[in-house]
Amino acid sequence: MTMPAAPLTSLTDVLQQYWGYDSFRPLQAEAMQAVLEHRDSVVVLPTGGGKSICFQAPAMAMPGLAVVVSPLISLMKDQVDALTECGISAACINSSMSNAERLQVANLIRAGRLKLLYVAPERLCTEKMLDFLESIQVSFFAIDEAHCISAWGHDFRPEYRMLQQLRIRFPGIGVHAYTATATEHVRQDISTQLGLRDPEWLIGSFDRPNLIYRVQRKSDVQKQVRAVIDAHPGESGIVYCISRREVDELAQLLVRAGYKTRPYHAGLPDTDRIKHQDEFLNEDTQIIVATVAFGMGIDKSNVRYVIHTGAPKSLEHYQQETGRAGRDGLEAECWLLWSSSNFITWRKMQEELPEEAKNHALECLKGIERFCTGIVCRHKALVEHFDQAYETPNCNACDVCLDQLDLVSEPLVIGQKILSCIVRVKESFGADYVAQVLVGSKEARILDNGHDELSTYGLLKEERKEAVRDWIEQLGSQGFIERVGEYNTLSVTTAGWKLLKGQADVRLLKPSKKKSASERSTKIELTSWEGVDRALFEVLRGLRRRVAEEHGVAPFIVFADTTLRDLARRRPTSLVNFRQVHGIGEKKTADFGSLFIDVIRDHCEQQQLTTDVSAQSESTPRPKASPAAKPAAAKDALSLSSAKQLAFDLFKTGKSIEQVAEATSRSVSTAHDYLIDYLGVTVQEDPAPWVTEAEFARIREAAQTVGLERLKPIFDELNQTIPYDQIRIAVACLRNSI
């Protein structure tokens, strides 16, 4: 029987009560209305666009149990943890649970005490589970990561096809599909495969305006990657590599250079993959170097950069993988480091595919190749690939629009020289060889072939070979050159012959001079930090991490970075004002309000900062205009990265946390966080001199009984006689010894 729709107005109360949000994001209200009215829907919103709330909020406003299909255990766990912290009754059923745990969840469902249940498609579609759901009141089905059902999607999973029977077994209950990345072809396939009935189509913008895209030809990968990491000290990032070997090699190089890094790929043991992923989510490590095996199960909101050390095989993959950055809506960088060999590798791998699939894969590869070599706004190129218009004249968030690429002043002349050289070598050589001829290389092969006698030899000798290679790739992406045969030799196309005759237009780019970190700052970054006391933000970040460890959840589940920034901007000192901060609902106010308020009050008193700043005055300067405020300026003399480096040097000599706090002009809690980071980087197994030998022995014994995953069980096992800070230091060393 079809249930009556719940009023949409009640959802505003739900949003405010549980999530602390005052308004809907684009298309959220329409998506929620479709759920409330029991109409099927296909919802495509960009990562970070608030897809999950589109079904989580209606679940709280409707009678019965909402069933959410999710592909990975880790993703289910993060979602359930986040909902529980907000005061929402949610659970999951998966293969990692014991029979007793699954029975407990079933009993909660029968008692009507759960609002959301997360389950994998293969478990949901068992006869036993379907019979069980038919015996209770189900409010609706939400299919998360719905692109997995389409063979044309970028992450097809055959088990999703089992979901076709939901429409047959539950004819009166709404089925809703949610994804972040789907072309028109994939969207239609999702609807067909799920058997949706006249679904509501809600397609949001594919643009992620908070992401800053930069594309660069690969040269010294380690140097290029480290430059990005160093621009984000202490922040989380993902580095994607094409092969497992590249992952292992780069991860080892970064570890040796002192970065808190872990590898992740399908060749690692399950225990290592789980451990590394958990360390990343819990901020015990800051960088994951991974193949594309890492990502879908990551709900981490504060990834500040994603680096690709090779071009992925399609723009769909690139959109999905870069979408893991900046899920909280704050600025994040996406660097794509590519080489022509990436495309050769993908083409070879695709040769074994069936003909139709191979043709589709090759078309996808051409799309990402055009993106790498193109000179169109990166946001525009991505959005228009998904058949949407992009009218913004300047995104202010990519290397093209930020004027970090320069157009060649005489592209026609350069293009003609390159094409002429290809003709002179009788279209029998690849890009690297042609570039060497043009720059006048003395390589033996060129001399043996007599190509140093050609009229085109050395025509571009004033240019670097890498620049000439780039131009060859750009000519290829614009259709003037094509690769042919087993050895990918270069051939001039019909359009290329027109260019040789001066009958076509071409555009070529070259890298601009490198800009300093300050010049690279974008309008997005400046706006998102406006009015935020950065020192307080760091203090609150350390507090969030300690609270998360005590609760056994990831830090971003306690509070998103957007919330921490708003706290450091408004600096509330009462529960009433704390509750007004973005992303703080009733339960989090009750759970964490007093603790965070005390820390904010102490910091503001020490730094002579105004407190309880209203939302209307957020853009105004915060420090009090008085002589007493001057010492605070001295506190900022050390940047965050230099302060941490000084702390590491001091810890190396055995200085206490209090001494380091004084030397770096940071709070004791921040110095404590520096110590935890130092122990992780140095992989130190002995916590002396910061924890006594006797305390360490007691903590180790307690950990052997209750495990190392959470601090609170250890604290309780020790009868609360050793402070959390000491336990945290000891546990960091114990984890290093595993």
State the pLDDT confidence band at 527, using cuts at 50, 70 and 90: low
What are 534-585's pLDDT values in tens digits?
999 999 999 999 999 888 888 999 999 999 999 999 999 999 999 989 899 9
The type of residue at 565 is R
State the pLDDT confidence band at 637, using cuts at 50, 70 and 90: very low
Q: What is the pLDDT of residue 517?
A: 40
How much of the chain exceeds pLDDT 70, in percent? 91
More confident residue, 420 or 358: 420
**Both tokens assigned to 313:** 């095989």
Residue 696: alpha-carbon gap to chain centroid: 36
Q: What is the pLDDT of residue 514?
A: 47
Give me the mean pLDDT over the 147-159 stretch.
74
Q: Which of 123-127, 513-517, 640-644 has the largest mean confidence?
A: 123-127
How far, in Å, CA of 62 to CA of 6, rounded?
Answer: 6
Give me the mean pLDDT over the 353-373 stretch.
85
The β-bridge relationship of strands 489-492 and 481-484 is antiparallel
How far, in Å, CA of 532 to CA of 484, rounded?
Answer: 56
Q: What is the pLDDT of residue 1?
A: 36
C-beta separation of 189 from 164 below 8 A: no
Give me the mean pLDDT over the 432-451 stretch.
95
CATH of 527-736, one of 1.10.150.80, 3.30.1050.10, 1.10.10.60, 3.40.50.20: 1.10.150.80
**Both tokens assigned to 502:** 């001066």
Q: Would you identify the CATH topology of the domain 406-511?
A: Arc Repressor Mutant, subunit A (1.10.10)
Q: What is the pLDDT of residue 442?
A: 93
The answer to whether residue 319 scores a pLDDT higher than 70 is yes
The β-bridge relationship of strands 41-44 and 174-179 is parallel
Give me the mean pLDDT over the 511-517 stretch.
47
What are 477-487's pLDDT values in tens digits?
778 999 888 78
506 CB-near residues (< 8 Å, 6+ apart): 411, 412, 415, 475, 478, 480, 499
CATH of 211-402, one of 3.20.20.70, 3.40.50.10320, 3.90.1150.10, 3.40.50.300: 3.40.50.300
More confident residue, 643 or 509: 509
Q: What is the pLDDT of residue 635?
A: 32
The answer to whether residue 2 scores a pLDDT higher than 50 is no
Bridge partners of 333, per DSSP, are 212, 305
| Mean pLDDT over each residue of the chain, to the nearest integer | 86
The type of residue at 118 is Y
* Helix 73-85 and helix 270-281, axial crossing angle in degrees, nearest 10: 30
Q: What is the pLDDT of residue 629?
A: 31
Residue with tokens 């959410």: 68
Q: What values do phi and psi take at 338, rounded to 5? A: -125, 165
Residue 585 three-state SS: coil
The answer to whether residue 193 scores a pLDDT higher than 60 is yes
Give me the mean pLDDT over the 45-55 stretch.
86
What are 653-700's pLDDT values in tens digits?
888 998 888 887 777 777 887 898 888 878 888 999 999 999 999 999
State the pLDDT confidence band at 148, using cuts at 50, 70 and 90: confident
The answer to whether residue 619 scores a pLDDT higher than 50 is no
CATH architecture of 9-203: 3-Layer(aba) Sandwich (3.40)
Q: What is the pLDDT of residue 403?
A: 78
Q: What is the pLDDT of residue 297?
A: 57
State the pLDDT confidence band at 620, using cuts at 50, 70 and 90: very low
Q: What is the pLDDT of residue 638?
A: 41
213 closest CA partner among 86, 437, 400: 400
**Both tokens assigned to 153:** 């999607």
The pTM assigned to this predicted structure is: 0.69
What are 249-260's pLDDT values in tens digits?
999 999 999 999
Which helix (H) or strand (E) segment is 712 a member of? helix 711-717
Residues in the chain: 738
Choice among 8-17, 230-239, 293-302, 323-332 with the minimum mean pLDDT: 293-302
Give me the mean pLDDT over the 403-415 stretch.
84
The answer to whether residue 456 scores a pLDDT higher than 90 is yes
313 CB-near residues (< 8 Å, 6+ apart): 346, 350, 361, 364, 365, 368
Instruction: State the distance between the two ends of the chain, measured CA to CA, in whole angstroms.
Output: 55
Same fold, 9-203 and 211-402: yes
How far, in Å, CA of 223 to CA of 220, rounded?
Answer: 5
**Any idea where the domains of the chain sit in the sequence?**
9-203, 211-402, 406-511, 527-736
More confident residue, 632 or 248: 248
